[in-house]
Structure 1
Amino acid sequence: MNYGGVVSSPNGDVSLTVEVEEGEPVYHLKYNDKVLIAPSRLGVIFKETNLSQDLTLDYIESSKVDEIWTQPWGEQKEIRNNYEEIKLYFSKNESGEKMNITFRVFDDGLGFQYEWPEQVGLQDFVITDEITEFNMADDHTGWWIGAYQLNRYEHLFNETRVSETDTVHTPFTMKTDDGIHLSIHEAALTNFASMTVANNGNNSLEVDLVPWKNGDKVRGSAPHKSPWRIINVGETAGDLMTNYLMLNLNEPSKIEDTSWITPGKYTGIWWDMHLGTKTWESGEMHGATTEYTKQLMDFTARHGFYGVLVEGWNQGWDGSWFDNGDVFSFTEPYPDFDLKEVTRYADSLGVKLIGHHETSAGISNYEAQVDEAFDLYNEVGVEAVKTGYVGDFVEGGEWHHGQFMVRHYRDIVKKAAEHKIMLNVHEPIKDTGIRRTWPNMMTREGARGQEYNAWSVDGGNPPSYTTIVPFTRGLVSPFDYTPGVFNLLLTDKPENPDNNRVQHTLAKELALYVVIYSPLQMVSDLVKNLEANPTALEWVKAVPVDWETTLVPKAEIGDYVVVVRKDRNSGDWYLGGITNEKARDFEVELDFLESGKTYEAQVWADGEDADWKTNPYPLERTTEEVTSESVLELNLAKGGGVAVRFAPKN
């Protein structure tokens, strides 16, 4: 051993040890004096050289940071960035290639990053493997989806022991038998392959980089950096949900004036197509018509929502678009959709058209048109665009989450920022915190959303799904789940051979607006269903999408979650609570409310005999006065939920 050093987090809870043993760098991690990560290898293998062994540690630098920065929008307005850092400078014995590894130790986890400074020996390099390990101290319970599957990240989560996992996508969330929660992920994914995690046996996990179709993992030239490999840790599931280590490891915003970036709720010509009552393609059932768009805009303006998403407006949806993204034009509308007229009409009502670019994985076709397409949206006043990348592979066999697409997604975000356009990306690369650097990257899909309830052959997302997703996919937030379906049994659907439905109660659907965070939240159901239930619609109109503070007073992954958030623009607080198939009763202390004030608690709860399976619709609306010393009783039906607004009275 030629180095052995320990670095502790600012409060001492997290302790990192880094060692170099016979030329091989190794790290291990403790949390509250318990071994979390046993000794684990570090390093990267290039086609040209192996930088995981035969290394000499040349010198070490240490530093610390303690600062607070402000998100222009988000689930938490003020974020503290507080860590201890060491940077280790290595050189390869004999051949002399250079590699640095930086470790940042936070009170709630660890981040580390590889860096290859400019050097002659690593010009035009190819990385063939990364051998970074996460050797678990025990066989923890984990929640995961397999990495190399079709449909990208859109799968139900498995719950198994670490020893029973496959190669998995991150974030990979685990719970130890003594209750510690941890999650492995990455931050600041830029010009690199996405990281998955492979099961090596004996509770050992190793980074598995998603390859190019020829097998290369990463192509680059020094100077170059890897994304940060991160381990988030906390006592509770809620601690993971309020962990901002990933954001802290991203660069500050490159957009100086963010005043044009506007969170909001939106409606859309979208759910109709998933139900089969309208079509993307042209014809008698075409959804994206001028007339129907204006009707949606009337509804949107009437209830104070931001805008209307219109899918299927542009040429290319007829025929086999699903298999050939080259058919799309992003500037030519169908004859029954007058782009300039609908945007003029939107302006007259004070709402916005939300644009749509479905590429169907035709990347070259999209890149050839995107400048002109964004210019057109600038011309007519479109401020937000939903992009889509339906398809299992792109450009003849590249994965959605390999380096090729990582580069593409980042290029589109930058280009959108140049045009002052906000993005909502479906079939995306996973979020690694880039929204800090490019805050026009508002929200994304990257999991099974509401649409699976409309047509999935398994009938839809089970009641437990939304109690898992906040602690897996949702940890890297935001998620365009698209809540707001009031007709839970989907009686509008002409044919329903798989008995599709929304598998929870109406109160739970309302609670999702707080539990699942997105700065662009959809109000997804048909107008007739939304306006037929004014009590439920009252909540959707009231609940904000931009928060000052987020708290998670109660949560158990896969069972239940209670989330509390404070509105950024008022003194109101909001609570969302959901459960799986089991009914639950909770008592929640309201000590988060301002002391000395009285609040009106406006409650939307499961009504009498509510049950997700047999009676999902009963919704009870009540009010009561509360203070910071009050305890609120919550009664959740099977598959149920509760939504609460706390409005100051004095």
Structure 2
Amino acid sequence: MRISALLLLAFSSVSVAKTASIASPNGNITISLSDELSTPSYSINFKNKTVIDNSALGFAFKQQAPFSEGFKITNTQQQSVNSQWQQPWGERTTVTDHHNEIAVTFSKADPHGGTYTVRVRAFNNGVGFRYEVPAQAGFENIAITKELTEFAIAGADNATAWWIPARGWNRYEYVYNTTPLQDAALVHTPFTFKNQDGVHLSIHEAALVDYAGMVLNQRRPGVFQADLTPWSDGIAVKKHGAFNTPWRTIQIAEKAVDLINSDIILNLNEPNKLGDVSWVKPGKYVGIWWGMHINTHTWGSGEKHGATTEHTKYYMDFAAEYGFDGVLVEGWNTGWDGDWFFNGDVFSFTQAYDDFDIDALAKYGKQHGVQLIGHHETSGNVTNYRNQMADAFALYEKSNVSQVKTGYVADGGNIKRIDQQGIARHEWHDSQFMVNEYLYNVTLAAKHKISINTHEPIKDTGLRRTYPNWITREGARGQEFNAWGTPPNPPEHIAMLAFTRMLAGPMDFTPGIFDLSFNGLGAETNRPQTTLAKQLALYVVLYSPIQMAADLPKNYLAKPDAFQFIQDVPTDWQQSIALDGEVGDFIVFARKERKRDKYTGNDWYLGAVTDEHARTIEVKLDFLEPGKQFEAHIYQDGKHAEWKNKPYDLNIEKRLVTANDKLTLKLATSGGTAIRFKAI
């Protein structure tokens, strides 16, 4: 559903212009495009101070002359949009799209020079721009070797950056660095930093379709270039005829939490293309997963095989009794024996091991109101998967499976594809080839009414708006690193993800580990470096429309009072607000449940987490509806809690509150607080 109010402000056609500018609706942000330098450029001001200095625009091609020197502004168009649209699921039900837009056309007098348009949208909390290249003589078939887009950071000398390296073997699964901005050499987006004036910015992209993923390359101090991840033959992007690039996005905020309270990425994506998506269901699941990571079970066959019919029925019984929608089963299909990590050729996506009866389990799950959640691990051999994908989805559809977790485990540039000549080529996870491969998987799944949870994915760029069955994805260092990561995720990890990776969209982090000492306690052990209260808070802080209760059922049954919060907390929200926080230090979130299934739409939830430092945070409850009473169910770190040796110290209490009240949250080292505000 889209409610639109479109006002055309101006339309002008000019032969010569030097600078074209557009301001955000509130006037705080101004972006200017210019042809005064040798190459077309742009700059951005925030509250009358420059945050992005003059930065180059354009392309270089393998055959055609570059879109760079000699281009002049030949046309501008402006408009303003103030509209609202509805999400079928998400952080909030209604999204407001309020921006001013300018489309600036650059052309070169040379008959073979070409023309292109830069379309800019200025929001109150940032800017998005993209290139639009029309069909034109001499550019019918192009190979982009380089995008010339720059991001020249004003005040870079004293800026602080939070980042992970790009084009590494481990894709996006790295611990975040906190460094001076000049030390961020080649980085993934979202790339978050704070300039010398204390302004927070984050650079990312939106609507990444049929194009290479962009990383940022700091070629000279403070100036980052768009660095497109290439094909195996070295070409960045291959295009035929007219095309649009993804949007380059720059979120801008005085406070760190204002980066989070932004819908720029979603608003720059196209509306839903799938039609009726009522079959896409948010929810919670359990799974035969964590046991593999802590070595109580195996993916491969044998006496410790996790994916057996009997074991799956046990998980289904647990899910049915405690209100979970599904059971994820990994390791059910043949191919897991031996060195599967490096041999994705051997996977079958339709042939089960002898001890796993998918037909019987589909029937059993239907009787108990619990679905199987499917799993497809490719080990990076995408041709093997592509060849079986249609049959695999048909099998799952027949088996009442409506969600599938896919996996693309492979070193960063080692995705294996076999071309029509039988030649093996190796591609990056975020190359144009793989961008298209991931989207093919999602759109084919939609034909079978299946939602996709992608692991080892391409980064999120808001395509969940256009394809709502792309329900979540990984794309960061998840919970499994706490089992064997050496080192595991540090205490600051969640407070870092909230302001970096999570700006892109939902993450399947797999929270809720209750046995925090499976390898022993202490600081040097592979284990979650959190308190129990922090594990509960993750369900509110780290958004995903499907959330896993990741631990073994026996560990939840051993702590039923704490487990109650996981049973209560929803995964679909009417509203979400980041209340307070600083990058890598702490974050406080409030979310209101959406009316769906057993949820009334009246309750609020709060999650707060901190890094290695204990801290006290005062939270105003003015997000609650005025004039109403709520019963606050509070799960917080106990008096003696600290993550290293006393992570289980948990205090649970209830009290009546209203919107006029304040709560004082005392967070232990790597601790947290989780609260349900139950409407009375």
Determine if the alignment matches structure 1 residue 210 to structure 2 residue 238: no
Shift of 1:532: 0.7
SS in 1 for 2:409: coil
Please tell me the residue identity of whatever aligns with 1:182: L
Q: Which residue of 1 aligns with 2:32?
A: 17
Shift of 1:206: 1.0
- Aligned residues of 1:456 and 1:498 also touching (Cα < 8 A): no
Distance in 1 (alpha carbons) for counterparts of 2:300 and 2:546: 26
Determine if the alignment matches structure 1 residue 49 to structure 2 residue 65: yes
| Aligned pairs, number | 646
Q: Which residue of 1 aligns with 2:477?
A: 448
- Aligned residues of 2:461 and 2:505 also touching (Cα < 8 A): no
Shift of 1:498: 6.9
1:15-36 CA-to-partner distances (Å, cap 9, x unmatched) read: 1111112562111101111211
Q: Which residue of 1 aligns with 2:270?
A: 251
Determine if the alignment matches structure 1 residue 565 to structure 2 residue 582: no
Q: Which residue of 1 aligns with 2:55?
A: 40
Please tell me the residue identity of whatever aligns with 2:36: E
Shift of 1:96: 3.9
Q: How does 1:48-127 map to 2 (within 5 A)?
A: 48-94=64-110, 95-127=112-144
- Aligned residues of 1:154 and 1:447 also touching (Cα < 8 A): yes
Distance in 2 (alpha carbons) for counterparts of 1:608 and 1:2: 66
Distance in 2 (alpha carbons) for counterparts of 1:278 and 1:288: 9
Return the match for 1:468 from 488, 496, 502.
496
- Matched residues, percent identical? 48
SS in 1 for 2:498: helix
Shift of 1:54: 1.6
- Aligned residues of 2:182 and 2:221 also touching (Cα < 8 A): yes
TM-score (norm 2): 0.93
Q: Which residue of 2 aligns with 1:485?
A: 513
TM-score (norm 1): 0.98
Structure 1 unaligned blocks of 5 or more: none
Distance in 2 (alpha carbons) for counterparts of 1:498 and 1:444: 29
1:485-520 CA-to-partner distances (Å, cap 9, x unmatched) read: 100112599xx9972111010000000000000001
Q: Which residue of 2 aligns with 1:418?
A: 447
Return the match for 2:344 from 308, 317, 325.
325
Runs of 4+, deviation exceeding 6 Å: none
- Aligned residues of 2:292 and 2:298 also touching (Cα < 8 A): yes
Determine if the alignment matches structure 1 residue 538 to structure 2 residue 564: yes
1:384-421 CA-to-partner distances (Å, cap 9, x unmatched) read: 00000001111232111111100100111111111110
- Aligned residues of 1:346 and 1:352 also touching (Cα < 8 A): yes
Cα gap change, 1:571 to 1:553, in 2 (>3 Å): same
Return the match for 2:653 from 601, 622, 627.
622
Q: Which residue of 2 aligns with 1:172?
A: 191
Q: How does 1:482-631 map to 2 (within 5 A)?
A: 482-491=510-519, 499-569=525-595, 570-631=601-662
Distance in 1 (alpha carbons) for counterparts of 2:198 and 2:632: 33
Please tell me the residue identity of whatever aligns with 2:540: V
1:132-183 CA-to-partner distances (Å, cap 9, x unmatched) read: 1111111221100111210100000111121111110000001123322110
Distance in 2 (alpha carbons) for counterparts of 1:49 and 1:115: 17
Shift of 1:477: 1.7
SS in 1 for 2:42: strand
Shift of 1:591: 0.6
Distance in 2 (alpha carbons) for counterparts of 1:179 and 1:202: 19
- Aligned residues of 1:277 and 1:492 also touching (Cα < 8 A): no
SS in 1 for 2:464: helix
Shift of 1:90: 2.3
Distance in 2 (alpha carbons) for counterparts of 1:492 and 1:379: 44
Please tell me the residue identity of whatever aligns with 1:52: S
Distance in 1 (alpha carbons) for counterparts of 2:454 and 2:21: 41
Q: How does 1:30-429 map to 2 (within 5 A)?
A: 30-47=45-62, 48-94=64-110, 95-139=112-156, 140-392=159-411, 393-395=414-416, 396-429=425-458
Distance in 1 (alpha carbons) for counterparts of 2:21 and 2:457: 38
Larger deviation: 223-232 or 173-182?
A: 173-182
1:80-115 CA-to-partner distances (Å, cap 9, x unmatched) read: 111111112222331142211111111111111011
Distance in 2 (alpha carbons) for counterparts of 1:618 and 1:343: 40
- Aligned residues of 1:115 and 1:226 also touching (Cα < 8 A): yes
Shift of 1:341: 0.5
Distance in 1 (alpha carbons) for counterparts of 2:320 and 2:517: 27
- Aligned residues of 2:397 and 2:448 also touching (Cα < 8 A): yes
Q: Which residue of 1 aligns with 2:598?
A: none
Shift of 1:437: 0.1
Shift of 1:63: 1.3
- Aligned residues of 1:22 and 1:54 also touching (Cα < 8 A): no
Distance in 1 (alpha carbons) for counterparts of 2:669 and 2:120: 45
Shift of 1:234: 1.3
Please tell me the residue identity of whatever aligns with 1:242: N
